[in-house]
Amino acid sequence: MIEVRFHGRGGQGAVTAAELLAVAVGYKGWHSQSFPMFGVERRGAPVQAFCRIDDKPVRIHQNVETPDIVVVLDPTLMKDIDITSGLKKGGLIIINTVKKTDEFNLGDYKIITVNATDIARKELGVPIVNTAILGTFAKLVEWVDLESLEKAIKGRFEQQLADKNINAMRACADETHV
């Protein structure tokens, strides 16, 4: 089983990112579930969202405690939250930031950074980075790809907004250097 934890703030789309990922892996033949965990339900408050992916039906109904992958939509959260909490040794961390990977000292993890905020502003007109950062995600793992994410996005948004989100996702994938 693959477990993913998204860290963001209310209004940034962490919950939507987890849901889109869950739908997209379904198109690839995987089973999945996604769910959020809120503190205070207000815009700007810290939010976590989770996605579980497996080759058999997912029947666990509890929070993700030991993720394989952590995605950080808002790097300012890292001042107050230990994003590596429970992350499996050698796990992957994807951070939306202008900083370079070598500027982070987070332990024995694979860290990938991408400036999804600038890409989202350019493609969407707003700094909502959820679909953009999924492009980076797809470039790093083998069990989801841009085409399945594109299909999930088209199923979620009306055509014009879907096209903008797909452009942001593809631009972020292009900016991701492994």
pLDDT tens by residue, 60-75: 888 899 999 999 999 9
First to last CA, the chain: 23
Distances (CA, A) of 73 to 6, 54, 124, 160, 174: 7, 24, 16, 23, 18
State the pTM of this model: 0.94
Beta strands in the chain (DSSP E): 2-9, 31-38, 46-54, 69-72, 92-96, 110-114
- The tens-digit pLDDT sequence of the chain (178 residues) is 999 999 999 888 999 999 999 999 999 999 999 999 865 555 678 899 999 999 999 998 888 999 999 999 999 999 999 999 999 999 999 999 999 999 998 889 999 999 999 999 999 999 999 999 999 999 999 999 999 999 999 999 999 999 999 999 999 999 998 7
Other Cβ atoms closer than 10 A to 54: 16
Distance, in Å, from the CA atom of 157 to the CA atom of 155, rounded to the nearest integer, reads: 6
**What's residue 79's pLDDT?**
94
User: Locate tokens 């579930």: which residue?
Assistant: 33
**What's residue 63's pLDDT?**
86
**What's residue 168's pLDDT?**
98
For residue range 110-146, list pLDDT tens digits in order.
Answer: 999 999 999 999 999 999 999 999 999 999 999 999 9
> Which residue range(s) make up the domain with 106?
2-175
Distance, in Å, from the CA atom of 29 to the CA atom of 104, rounded to the nearest integer, reads: 35
**What's residue 20's pLDDT?**
98
**What's residue 43's pLDDT?**
65
Beta carbons of 67 and 49 less than 8 angstroms apart: no
**What's residue 45's pLDDT?**
82
CATH number of the domain to which 121 belongs: 3.40.920.10
Give how many domains the chain has, as a whole number.
1
**What's residue 41's pLDDT?**
57
Say if strands 46-54 and 92-96 run parallel, antiparallel, or are unpaired: unpaired
Distance, in Å, from the CA atom of 83 to the CA atom of 89, rounded to the nearest integer, reads: 13
